[in-house]
């Protein structure tokens, strides 16, 4: 069973009419979509669910710090201090 892109992409009527006149456009779009799907599948397999969850938590923490008024430079200074303390303790 084949599907159309109608539910995925909305084109203005004037663009839709012009697109129908482009020779080979459907084949090129199909090739492009296949490549995008394959790349997305590779990206999804590249990282473990644990790594993706860690990144998600880190982004949420960074956003929270931003809303709390802690800027990136301040965070980096704190990181440097912690890193120095840890490495000196080793």
**Are 31 and 53 found together in one domain?**
no
Number of domains into which the chain is organized: 2
**Are 63 and 41 found together in one domain?**
no
**Cα–Cα distance between 29 and 23 in angstroms, integer?**
12
End-to-end CA, the chain: 63
Does a structural domain hold residue 79?
Answer: yes
Task: Indicate left, alpha or beta for 23 from its phi (over 0: left) and psi (-120 to 50: alpha).
Answer: beta
Q: What is the pLDDT along the chain (90 residues), one digit of tens a residue?
A: 566 666 778 888 888 889 889 999 999 999 999 999 999 899 888 888 888 899 899 999 988 988 888 888 888 888 899 999 999 988
pTM of the model: 0.47
**Are 61 and 39 found together in one domain?**
no
Does a structural domain hold residue 5?
Answer: no
Does a structural domain hold residue 1?
Answer: no
């Amino acid at each position: 069973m084949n599907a159309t892109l109608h539910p995925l992409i909305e084109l203005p009527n004037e663009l839709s009419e012009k697109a129908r006149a482009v020779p080979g456009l459907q084949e090129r779009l199909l090739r492009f979509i296949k490549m995008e799907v394959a790349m997305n599948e590779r990206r999804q397999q590249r990282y473990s669910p644990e790594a993706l969850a860690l990144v998600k938590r880190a982004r949420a923490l960074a956003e929270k710090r931003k809303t709390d008024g802690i800027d990136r430079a301040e965070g980096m200074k704190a990181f440097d201090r912690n890193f120095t303390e840890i490495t000196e303790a080793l």
